Amino acid sequence: MKRLIVLTVFVAFPSGSVLAATCESLATLTLPQATVDSAQVVAAGAFTQPGGRAGRGGNAFADLPTFCRVAATLKPSNDSDIKIEVWLPAENWNRKYQAVGNGAWTGNINYGPMAEALRRGYATSSTDTGHVGGSASFAMNHPEKAIDFAYRSEHEMVLKSKAVIDAFYGSAPKYSYWNGCSAGGRQALKEAQMYPADFDGIIAGSPGADWSGRSAQAVRIAALLENEAARLTPAHQQVLHNAVVAACDANDGLKDGLISNPAACKFDPKVLQCKNGDAPDCLSEAQVATVRAIYSPLKMGNRDVAGLAYGSELNWTNLGWSPSARATGLDHYRYLVYNDPEWQVSKFNAETDPAKLEQGESGKIDARNPDLKAFFARGGKLLMYHGWADPQISPLNATAYYEQAVKASGGASKVSGSYRLFMAPGMAHCGGGEGPNDFDKVAPIEQWVEQGKAPDQIVASHSKEGKADRARPLCPYPQIATYKGSGSIDEAASFVCK
């Protein structure tokens, strides 16, 4: 009996010695509309990031196991030049595939998340989305490259990566996952909406699903802040934040410095307006107008694009929302709307400019289609998360998309087995912030997909100076972590989701 079990385990988990092909032989692998550029074994600890950016702390990849590194160029259109890398563990492959996402307009392979996947035994891949560098300039007069960025590079990467995995190990991955945040969250939803067969489980972090709306909002605020008098100093932001927390902290039933239900927060920054000239502890009329604009929705076509949530104030900058939000929005207008690298935020027209982002290739970037029925019907699981204090992508976009998807699928009870959204109070963009913001996303989606155990909560922790000082469950929206009434408010066990 014992022998039989050992034999079964061996067959189910072939080691590196029974690979279907050598790593080097993958260099001659034939893929449609694609070329394998290289295939090489990278010895344990030998990988360094191209460009030599090992970082001040030494090589962040020193703990990687031996893997087969495959680089390929994909050309699904005449104007396409999509780079991908596929990393294949030489031993102890977990028989699974994890694709990782990108950020903003970035045109580079995302090595850090690939390394995390590899450490867990995954075969993993990443794409540069079809261009080099962090600007949207690639898209100007290159509609096919815009489409590569919008969705095609990710899907093509998945198809090619699965073929490479099959060639190397002699079998397809048993389970396939997407893991991305920000732009990677947008890519996640695009995959679920357009290519429901690509993944069994999808992690969509802080998704920039309303890429158009986010750009319009960010540029609207940046245009407002061209007026120096309308800007807030860090001291003003702190005053504002303290006032918001004082007004809304207790709404969720617990005074803990965190606003767990910002949508229920009622706060008018007018209460902070100076009465006798400017002072550090009050806001000028122009500053009050700025703050109101940042919280308020923007009319865009037939929808309202949400402003930022109450509680996010400490993360705002004088460049508008965040430097990245401003830069991403500015590039969006320059290269996908006006084809003018000199276009400035001061030219923004809040009446006519927002809708322009929804046209042409620009509009194809958005991942706003709430119809996920095909993905759910295949058994796909979608784990989404968003920080309530996100200064780059409004968390209200996430709750709005969730509600639209629920409606499109016929109600919450039909969706809870397939799609759960975890809102993190006090968490900034993809992590960081005053609230618990560090949590494992991969283990919950694995358990959901592979064992049918949907996550009823995910415990997140907060650290200060490298030391964990608070843990709290994140709850499936619209539930919030509710204090049981006894025990430390810094311990997860003192809370229940409801």
Q: How far is the CB of 253 from Ca ion (least distance, A)?
A: 7
- What are the two backbone dihedrals, phi and then psi, of residue 286, each rounded to the nearest 5 degrees? -65, -35
Give the tokens for residue 105: 């307009």
| Contact yes or no for 202/383 (Cβ under 8 A) | yes
How many residues contact Ca ion, by CB under 5 A?
Answer: 5
The answer to whether residues 494 and 481 touch, using CB atoms and an 8 Å cutoff, is no
Residues recorded for the chain: 498
> Which CB sits closer to Ca ion, 314 or 454?
314
CB of 251 to Ca ion, least distance (A): 7
To Ca ion, the closest distance from the beta carbon of 489 in angstroms equals 9
Query: Which segment (67-75, 250-258, 279-287, 466-474) binds Ca ion by CB under 5 A?
Result: 250-258
Only segment of 170-178, 247-255, 264-272, 438-446 that touches Ca ion (CB under 5 A): 247-255
Which of 332, 366, 390, 494 is labelled catalytic?
390
Among 174, 324, 313, 175, which Cα is nearest to 239's?
A: 313
Give yes or no for a cis peptide into 478 (omega within 30° of 0). Answer: yes
Smallest gap from Cβ 260 to Ca ion, in A, equals 5
* Selected range binding Ca ion among 28-36, 132-140, 252-260, 316-324, rule: CB under 5 A: 252-260
- Residue numbers 332-361 binding Ca ion by CB under 5 A: none
For residues 18 and 28, what is the distance between their CA atoms, to the nearest angstrom?
A: 20
Q: Given strand 419-424, what is the order of strands in its sheet?
A: 34-42, 67-74, 82-89, 123-127, 96-100, 175-181, 201-205, 381-387, 419-424
Contact 357, 332 (CB under 8 A): yes
By CB under 5 A, residue 249 contacts Ca ion: yes
Q: How far is the CB of 265 from Ca ion (least distance, A)?
A: 10
What distance in Å separates the CA atoms of residue 347 and residue 64, rounded to the nearest whole number?
Answer: 49
Helix (H) or strand (E) holding 205: strand 201-205
Backbone angles phi, psi at 453, to 5 degrees: -95, 100
Report DSSP letters for 153-173, one per residue. Answer: HHHHHHHHHHHHHHHHHSS--
Nearest distance from C-beta of residue 195 to Ca ion, angstroms: 40
**Whole-number minimum distance, CB 249 to Ca ion, in Å?**
4
Compare residues 63 and 469 and give the one whose CB is closer to Ca ion: 469
Cβ closer to Ca ion: 256 or 366?
256
- The nearer residue to Ca ion, 216 or 248, going by C-beta atoms, is 248
**Annotated active-site residue in 182, 212, 260, 409:** 182
**What mask of x and - would describe binding to Ca ion in positions 204 to 243, judged by CB under 5 A?**
----------------------------------------
Q: State which residue, 248 or 300, has the beta carbon closest to Ca ion.
A: 248
Sign of CA dihedral 138, 139, 142, 145: positive
Tokens encoding 351: 């009446």
The nearer residue to Ca ion, 150 or 480, going by C-beta atoms, is 480
Residue closer to Ca ion, measured from CB, 254 or 393:
254
Is residue 182 among the annotated active site residues? yes
Nearer to Ca ion, 357 or 492 (CB): 492
x/- letters, 255..284, toward Ca ion (CB under 5 A): -x-x--------------------------
End-to-end CA distance of the chain: 46
Interface with Ca ion includes 446 (CB under 5 A)? no
Q: Is the dihedral angle over the CA atoms 135, 140, 146, 148 positive or is it negative?
A: negative
Return the beta strands (E) in 362-411 as ranges. Answer: 381-387
Rounded distance between C-alpha atoms, residue 463 and residue 438, angstroms:
8
Tokens of 89: 């563990």
Spatial distance between the Cα atoms of 344 and 330, rounded to a whole number of angstroms: 7
Q: Which member of 144, 252, 331, 366 binds Ca ion (CB under 5 A)?
A: 252
Rounded to the nearest whole angstrom, what is the least distance from the CB of residue 482 to Ca ion in the complex? 10
In the set 284, 429, 462, 494, the catalytic residue is: 429
- Residue 438 engages Ca ion in binding (rule: CB under 5 A): no
Tell me which stretch binds Ca ion (CB under 5 A): 110-118, 254-262, 393-401, 486-494. Answer: 254-262
Chain residues in the site for Ca ion (CB under 5 A): 249, 252, 254, 256, 258
Active-site residues, by number, are 182, 390, 429
